[in-house]
Structure 1
Amino acid sequence: MATGYSTVVDILVSEFRCAEEELSPDSTMENVDLDSLAQVEFAVALENRSGRPFSEDQLTLDTTLGEIAAFLDAAPAVSASHEK
């Protein structure tokens, strides 16, 4: 989970100005306090950074950062031939 989790934290800290010390694998999207637009932007950032498809529908208020990281670690990367 380290790779996916470090990606999640890096995006939240660098792009959404979240305080790293306030984040944990058990933090939910509600705890992170991203509004609905920011959640969509977070999903796009996750996909751009990881190369793995990620839908904003996968981000609910109850989704934990650990669950997001586990998805990133388990999902296959999109091959370059399928990208724009």
Structure 2
Amino acid sequence: MNYFYILYSAALNQYYIGHSSESLQERLRKHVSNHAGFTSKAIDWVIVYHEEFETKLLAYKRELAVKKWKSRKRLEKMIQESNH
């Protein structure tokens, strides 16, 4: 399975949008491990949203589409609606 996912860090008060063909738990483990990159700025990342896709390309296209929104409000609305 392939995933489009959104992480949130309370310490940074920021979201991270990504996609992966790994399990979400493995991908999260890598984000909070000692590494270089944007998510290395905090260790409190949690998965707040995800969608499953048949192919990695579809997950990547979804990631790009959501990033084009450039809207925190729209992102938070999508996350909130998924939790109901």
TM-score range (shorter-chain normalised) is under 0.3
* More strand by percentage: 2
Quick check: which one's helix share is greater? 1
What TM-score, normalized by structure 2, do the two folds share? 0.28
